[in-house]
Structure 1
Amino acid sequence: MKLSKRSYQSVILILIAIMLVLAGCGNSSSSSGSSADTNSADAGTPTAGGELVWALAGVVTNDILDAHRTGFAPSTRVMRSIYDSLVVELPDHTFGPWLAESWSLSDDKKSYTFKLRQDVKFHDGTPFNAEAVKFNFDRAVDPATQSYLGKNALGPYVSTDVIDEYTVKVNFSSTFAPFLSNVAKVDLGIVSPAAVKKYGETFPQNPVGTGPFKLGKVVPGTELDLVRNEDYNWAPSGSKHQGPAYLEKLTIKYVAEDATRLSVLQSGQADVADIIPPQNLLALRADSGFNVQETELLQHNYSYYFNQNKEPWNDINVRKAVRAAIDLDSAIKTVYLGTAKQAWSPLSPHSLYYTSTVENTWKYDPDFANKTLDELGWVKGDDGIRVKDGKRLSMEFLDAQGNREKRLDLLAVVTQQLKQVGIELKLLTLPAGTVSERSLKGEYDFAGSSQFYGDPSILRQMYSTKGPSGVNNVARTSDPALEDLLEQANAELDSSKRQELYKKIQEYIIENVYSIPTYVLDYTVASSKKVHDITFDSPAWPVFYDAWIKQ
């Protein structure tokens, strides 16, 4: 029997409703920020020892685990266990001590002075001190390091002064609001200066930090073993204990394929798996044998971007027509089975700087899309695709990451929606290096990207020529009015004034269709019932320091 489109949608909605009811009977916890953990009220006293196997959703590309040289999500999730930070960002977005015991801001608001712990050592036995902090910040902004995230995280950085062995002063050319939030992230995690000098170009494969786990064995492209740092006694504020981690070993297996990742979890070959696909998430929520943790990832939401350096995408009316042709609400419900919701802003809804004023400011309106394109002279050809001056209204979409977070499934639905109004979208799957090269050359029409980052200053990187990517910012935006707002927000230390600036920024981006936000990502971690006290940092990566296994 062939179902009509309306009947098919009805069946899908009924199935979603059933699965959501089942999910309500399961075992899950959720959080909008850092430090969410498993339900361990009846777990008993933590016990030390044991090996935890984590089925990681993805591959640590080229086994790069250098805090300053990769912003790739799988790498960053792993690195949080290896590197510590000067401060920790707490769930209420205040800051607590970590490698720094205290800090103060200068009268001119352009310098931060940190008093450091005096009992910290790197995994290689060398001391952590003021010289190490200076080395790290200088390295992060050094062009030779190629640290685009680190460079953005330090903004108008000028220098670091070593006041004494355990006191350091970090100087900026102007006020820099995001600094404490940025320095709490693993992008500015503290690496061993001695190890960087020892390993040189191979340091990314030989990471040395001060964290609760240190590198053991690496099977290139397959897995890595982290072993407990027995000397660790400097956990951040908010931790549940002090001293070494409970786990003796953390084995991380790269399991990019969704079905395989779920299989190794359910069979007991892995104790933990992350980024659970929607169809399995609903089932795991209802399974009493597992805990499911869900936390909204603080980030720039996955969005579509136009290459505004190419016609016709530099025309705001064309961009509005494309956006109106996409029924994101329907597409997201179909692909994510009710486990994700539509994004309206570049920023995550639980961001302190999110504004609800952008919600429902555009809608699926194929009539508007057709009318606009007609008026602009784009005429449908015999195959239904529009043509103007002999040129097809065709978009090339470059991809190198595959169906991560079901993004290609979503794109497939969007492709069909665009086709209905006469727009052709062609997916080109290419090696990462080729995509990067073509992107820099502007040889594409449409792109998709997200960027995990707790602070809204990430918008400067994505939409401003004054950010670290310059004219190659992902949105290919060069708008003086927007850049002025972004610079103001980057410098504004008053939180309420900064919120108002980011409200205007989000509204401006949406009004000008500089991007099309798609879905809000809840980062998910499923674990065996014997695993307890996995927590999350900011922006929402798993922390295994307090984790333990019930024997």
Structure 2
Amino acid sequence: MKIIRRGILAGLTAVALGGVSFATVPAYAEGTVTVSVPQDPASWDPIDTFLVAWAAVATNIYDGLTYRGPDMEIVPGLAESWEELDDGKRIRFKLRQNVKFHNGEEFNAEAVKFTFDRLLGDEGAKGPQRSNYTSIESVEIIDPFTVDFKLNAPDPVLLTKLAGYGAMIVPPKYVQEQGEAFNLNPVGTGAFKFVSYNPKVDIKLEANPDYWGGAPKISELNYRFISEPSTAVAELQAGRIDIVVPPTIPIAMIPVIEGASNLEVVSVPGPTVDALRFNTRDGITTDLKVRQAIIMSVDRATIVEAILAGQASEIVSFQSALSFGHDPELQGLPYDPEGAKKLLAEAGIPQGAPLQIDIRSNDASMNEVAQVIVSYLQAVGLNPTIKPYETSTLISDIIPQGKTGAMFQQKWGGWTFDYDNTAYAMYHTGEQWNPYGNDPELDRLLESQRPLTDRNEREKVLKEIGKYVADQALELPLYNTNAIYGVSKRVKNFVAAPDNRLKLNEITVE
């Protein structure tokens, strides 16, 4: 197995649109690559989604003002440069010239302003991305290729946010003409152009020969939506899939891929963390002692080594060690089943008390881990059951609507590698990932770190948030998983992305 700690992506990528005239792909761009992703995002509009599966595809359709590659460095994207003005209250972006959207519209300052007016307006209010960009008060056009972002508060991770998801730049005229149809017919400035979309089945792209970052080195890029891990791996073995992206491949299937002479496993440390969060509104998990007891019942070290084969690391707070705000000194509750029994007794919890654990049905590793957790909880006198949900149902309905059992799986990419992006979404009152919490002190801490421009001071507050959450036992933190890719050896120049956002314009195929 190839283990990569860091990688540098040589170029950028993008995509284009169906329903628009397509340029002929040059002869030097040859070959088709097919990628398996575990979920159909159902909309390709940047403001509609938070899903990693969306980014795995759409990173090749759209560009942001900035770009962050596998080396985690922020570099120019559609903005050639930027500078802070007015003591950080304004950021001025100089935009690339001679860039066109896939439908022929010119990329310019008007497109940037339209994108962010839409994101921060009524359209953006319908989706999950707007709250990530509320530090932007307005976007002002200085000239056709210069814009100022006027900020209502400092945002220390804004440049990273501009590299992904809701901040992807869209073509004004096309979006206005298409309306809701834009969801299914995306147009960006990227290295690949949209061809067709078959919901629940696939999305097909073709090379954009006029891409500002250089024409792609393959002619077609297709994505298939395969939720079942065994099916994805079988298709990889059969040669009908070239790349399987995380989190599809369960640990148990790594030897299967490694045993094939034409395949390889590429594993990189990533931001994705898993936890079982608590319903703090209903049932026995409203009691802090019960939550602490559950955490103390589970031997996470054994899970990481025995179930996950070392392809993960334990976590104490809901972030990876690569996250800004991670506190290596923070001590979690120890594995102590006898202490857990004592706490349950003090809380008056009877033997055999029921406990429902909601998980994603297609997450093979979590399914196995959940079975082990059931055994641990049974050992301290609880009666847990597992309720699997189709992923989109769990994350789009059950969790946001507060309809979970006592515990529910939360898998979070933390793609900004900054604890704010995770903690604010998970713990601030009113956020969709926080259906049960209403803690004024935690809200105060979360809000207090956002305006801080002193990196050290902000880091202190983020660590304080991590400790506060641990003290309140708001979740059973489990592990930070590696990003595990299955790759055909016919694919050359492949660089694994820790955050799953693969730009594939530089790959070639034999």
Superposed pair shares fold, TM > 0.5? yes
Percent identity, aligned pairs only? 26
Which of 284, 293, 297 does residue 266 from structure 2 map onto?
293
Q: Cα distance 1:130–1:530, how it changes in 2: closer, same or farther (>3 A)?
A: same
Q: Distance in 1 between matches of 2:209 and 2:499?
A: 27
- Structure-1 separation of matches of 2:10 and 2:358: 35
- Structure 1 residues 404, 499: closer, same or farther in 2, change over 3 A? same
> Is the 2:124–2:130 contact (alpha carbons within 8 Å) kept by the matching residues of 1?
no
Aligned position for 1:547 = 507
Query: Which residue identity lines up with residue 420 of structure 1 in the other structure?
Result: A
Residue 29 of structure 1 aligns with which residue?
A: 3
- Assess if the C-alpha contact under 8 Å between 2:426 and 2:434 holds in 1: yes
- Residue 409 of structure 2 aligns to a residue whose secondary structure is strand
Q: Which residue of 2 aligns with 1:222?
A: 201
2:314 aligns to what? 342
Q: Which has the larger radius of gyration?
A: 1
1:145 equivalent in structure 2: 124
For residues 520-545 of structure 1, the C-alpha deviation after alignment (integer angstroms, 9 at most, x for no partner) is: 12112222222122235573422201
Deviation readout 1:394-424 (Å, 9 max, x if unpaired): 233334x313252222112212211221222
CA change 1:418–1:475 in 2 (3 A) is: farther
TM-score (norm 1): 0.82
Please list every run of 5 or more consecutive structure 2 residues that lacks an aligned counterpart in the other structure. Answer: 12-27
Please give the TM-score of this superposition, normalised by the length of structure 2. 0.89
- Name which of 280, 291, 311 aligns with 2:253: 280
> What does residue range 481-500 of structure 1 map to in structure 2 within 5 Å?
481-500=441-460
Distance 1:365 1:91, change over 3 A: same
Task: Report the alpha carbon displacement of residue 362 of structure 1 after superposing the two structures with TM.
Answer: 1.7
Q: Is the 8 A contact 2:79 2:95 kept in 1?
A: yes
1:502 aligns with 2:458: no
**Structure 1 equivalent of residue 21 of structure 2:** none
Aligned residues: 488
Structure 1: state its 5+ residue gaps.
1-25, 38-46, 236-242, 386-392
How far, CA to CA, are the matches of 1:212 and 1:463 in structure 2? 37
Q: After superposition, what is the alpha-carbon deviation per residue over 1:69-117, rounded to whole angstroms, capped at 9, x for unaligned?
A: 1112222211110011101235665422110011111223122111101
Say which SS state the counterpart of residue 501 (structure 1) adopts: helix
Could you say which residue in structure 2 is the equivalent of 1:427? 386
CA distance in 1, matches of 2:394, 2:326: 35
2:489 matched to 1:533? no
CA contact under 8 A between 2:327 and 2:463: conserved in structure 1? yes
Aligned to 1:326: 298
For residues 92-491 of structure 1, what are the structure 2 equivalents within 5 Å? 93-146=72-125, 148-233=127-212, 235=213, 243-275=214-246, 276-285=249-258, 287-299=260-272, 301-359=273-331, 361-380=332-351, 385=352, 393-399=353-359, 401-430=360-389, 432-433=392-393, 436-444=396-404, 445-452=406-413, 453-454=415-416, 455-458=418-421, 459-465=423-429, 469-470=430-431, 472-474=432-434, 476-491=436-451
- 1:521 aligned to 2:501? no
The residue type equivalent to 2:192 in the other structure is F
Q: Does 1:49 align with 2:30?
A: yes
Q: Which deviates the most, 271-280 or 179-188? A: 271-280
Structure 1 pair 482/205, CA: closer, same or farther in 2 (3 Å)?
A: same
1:413 is matched by which residue type in structure 2? V
Distance 2:40 2:288 in 1: 38
* Cα separation, 2, equivalents of 1:270 and 1:365: 45
Give distance in 2, aligned partners of 1:482 and 1:108. 28
* 1:134 alignment partner AA: K
Distance 1:166 1:139, change over 3 A: same
Q: Is the 8 A contact 2:251 2:365 kept in 1?
A: no
Please give the secondary structure, in 2, of the residue aligned with 1:269: coil
CA separation in 2, counterparts of 1:102 and 1:414? 50
> Against the structure 1 CA distance between its residues 409 and 342, is the aligned structure 2 distance closer, same or farther, given a 3 Å change threshold?
same
| Pair 434,80 (structure 1): closer, same or farther in 2 beyond 3 Å | closer
Give 1:404's aligned amino acid: D
Q: Which deviates more from structure 2 when the two are superposed, residues 473-482 or residues 135-144?
A: 473-482
